[in-house]
Amino acid sequence: MNARSIFSFLALLAAWALPLTAPAQQPWPSRAVRIIATSPPGGSVDFLARSLAEDFTKSFGEAFVVETRPGANGNIGVEIVVKAPADGHMLFVAPPGPFSINAHLMSFMPFNPATDVAPVAMLGVAPLLLVVHPSVPAKNLKELLAWLRGEGADAHYASQAVASTGYLAMELLKSLARVEATHVPYKGSAAQATTDLLAGRVAMSFVGRLEP
């Protein structure tokens, strides 16, 4: 799996939500459809979910309602869908965490990403960009690494959460470059992490640039 795939944003629904037997012949949707956004409001996942809901409501003539259910790097929202009735009226939008990352970093998974859900569409990709606060005396990666070697754990970096792609990217950079920096997770909130970065409360962050 290449880096572009790893950082892709996926829209998924429960694997059994669109049965292939007789029930599939029934009109769909027959009532309002819930779309679970697994990250807090204001981020890429929330934006994609609300864009889908608006378009689907117009196309299908039924309401598609977005509900935000952040937490556990996406697991909480996915679990809600997995436990919902298998009638095709609940979908979710999530980043890669619940499907390719969490199982390797968390001791307990409330669902099996290989069997309990099935991908419907890839909505976009989000290449990661390493950004720093203007107060950091670095104009390129070489200078940033030199600064980090001098600062050590006194340098702080932001990410949406432990196990998020931004967290993994920074930890990989630290390992490869043999530098230190203290992680500040933001409970899934990219907006709050960005606010603190702009204010200088953290020095740097890997951020995604959404490409539909």
| Among 121, 117, 86, CA closest to 14 | 117
The CA–CA distances, whole Å, from 122 to 4, 6, 119, 145, 190 equal 12, 12, 8, 34, 21
> 191 vs 98, which has greater pLDDT?
98
The CA–CA distances, whole Å, from 158 to 13, 155, 203 equal 30, 10, 8
- Say whether 131 sits in a helix, a strand or coil: strand
- The per-residue pLDDT for range 18-53, each reduced to its tens digit, is 333 334 457 889 999 999 999 888 888 898 999 999
pLDDT computed for residue 183 by the predictor: 97
- pTM of the predicted model as reported, rounded to 2 decimal places: 0.77
Confidence of residue 99 (pLDDT cuts 50, 70, 90): confident
Q: What tokens were used for 66? A: 């977005």
Instruction: Please determine, for residue 8, whether its predicted confidence score (pLDDT) is greater than 80.
Output: no
| Percentage, residues of the chain above pLDDT 70 | 87
Where does the chain hold its CATH 3.40.190.10 domain(s)? Answer: 128-208
- The per-residue pLDDT for range 103-125, each reduced to its tens digit, is 998 989 999 998 998 788 888 88
What angle (nearest 5°) sits at the alpha carbon of residue 145, between those of residues 143 and 157?
115
Burial class (CB in 10 A: 0-12, 13-18, 19+), 108: exposed
Tell me which of 3.50.50.60, 3.40.190.10, 3.40.1280.10, 3.20.20.140 is the CATH number of domain 128-208: 3.40.190.10
Beta bridge partners of 159: 185
- The per-residue pLDDT for range 158-179, each reduced to its tens digit, is 998 888 899 999 999 999 999 9
Please tell me the distance from the alpha carbon of residue 207 to that of residue 145, in angstroms, as a whole number: 18
pLDDT computed for residue 25 by the predictor: 57
Q: Which fold has domain 3-125?
A: D-Maltodextrin-Binding Protein; domain 2 (3.40.190)
Cis peptide before 29 (omega within 30 of 0): yes
Question: What is the rounded average pLDDT of the residues 62-87?
Answer: 93
What is the sign, positive or negative, of the torsion defined by CA atoms of 151, 156, 162, 168?
negative
Q: What tokens were used for 86? A: 């298998």
Instruction: Please determine, for residue 10, whether its predicted confidence score (pLDDT) is greater than 60.
Output: no
Where does the chain hold its CATH 3.40.190.150 domain(s)? Answer: 3-125
